[in-house]
């Protein structure tokens, strides 16, 4: 497993916004990742992903409104979760399911994104009763477009944990990496409230 970490305690702030949002600098395997604050205000690139049924979705063109895209590894182990990374994925999914009504009340959709193949995501949804969509990005195309932090394991690239909140096709909030997956949804909600979203 190969990855390099970044420094903690940084903040992401969109110009003109009174809110200060927690984020940290991280790095991709071999390449320094962009700080989270650099992503805020950027247009979300057109991304072709697969849903758990193998159907193609073009985001954000085919998904309107505000959307939370949370990133998770889908690997056996990761720099963010050690050997318990798979358990961390379950906690991260459950975190957003637990606050589903809070997000629905704000008109916000939730999608999990990883480089897992659709079949693995389907099994995960069925086994853990995940109540929101999971998207497959097998080649980590979003990471390459935005310079998001990833790591490699057995020659395959995986996302490190993070959260992107997209509105009107632009990234409003960027948080990564996440060290406590069970707090992912709470952190997203806090950030949205701080921004008045």
What is the reported pLDDT for 1? Answer: 52
- Answer whether residue 180 is part of any domain: yes
* Phi-psi label, residue 104: left if phi above 0, alpha if psi -120 to 50, beta otherwise: alpha
Kindly state whether residue 104 falls inside one of the protein's structural domains: yes
Residue 110 lies in a domain: yes
What is the model's pLDDT at position 64? 72
Number of domains in the chain: 1
Q: What is the CATH number of the domain that holds 39?
A: 3.40.30.10
Model pLDDT, residue 18: 32
pTM reported for the whole predicted model: 0.79
For residue 82, the model assigns a pLDDT of 65
pLDDT in tens, 127-146: 888 899 899 999 999 999 99
Give residue 126's domain range.
11-195
Residues of the chain with pLDDT under 70: 1-35, 62, 80-83, 177
Q: b vs e for 32-70, b when ≥16 Cβ sit within 10 Å of the residue's Cβ?
A: ebbbbbbbbebebeebebbbbeeeebebbeebeebbbbb
* Burial of residue 115 (number of CB atoms within 10 Å: 0-12, 13-18, 19+): buried
d(C-alpha 51, C-alpha 136), whole Å: 6
Nearest to 93 by CA among 67, 55, 132: 132
Tens of pLDDT, residue by residue over 33-69, are 566 888 999 999 999 998 888 889 888 776 778 999 9
- Looking at the domain assignment, is residue 5 inside a domain? no
Whether residue 6 is contained in a domain is answered as no
In a domain? residue 23: yes
């Amino acid at each position: 497993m190969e990855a390099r970490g970044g420094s903690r305690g940084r903040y992401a702030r969109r110009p003109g916004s009174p809110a200060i949002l927690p984020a940290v600098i991280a790095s991709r395997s071999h390449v320094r990742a962009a700080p989270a604050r650099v992503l805020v205000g950027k247009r979300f690139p057109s991304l072709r992903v697969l849903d758990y049924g193998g159907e193609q979705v073009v985001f954000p063109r085919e998904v309107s409104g505000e959307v939370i895209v949370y990133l998770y590894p889908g690997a056996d182990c990761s720099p963010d979760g050690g050997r318990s990374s798979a358990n961390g994925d379950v906690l991260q999914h459950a975190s957003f399911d637990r606050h589903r009504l809070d997000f629905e009340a704000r008109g916000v959709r939730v999608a999990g994104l990883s480089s897992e193949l659709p079949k693995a995501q389907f099994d995960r949804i069925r086994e853990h009763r995940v109540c929101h969509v999971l998207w497959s990005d097998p080649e980590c195309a979003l990471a390459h477009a935005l310079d998001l932090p990833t790591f490699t394991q057995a020659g395959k690239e995986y996302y490190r944990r993070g959260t992107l909140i997209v509105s009107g096709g632009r990234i409003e909030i960027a948080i990564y990496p996440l060290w406590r997956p069970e707090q992912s949804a709470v952190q997203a909600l806090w950030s949205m409230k701080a921004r008045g979203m």
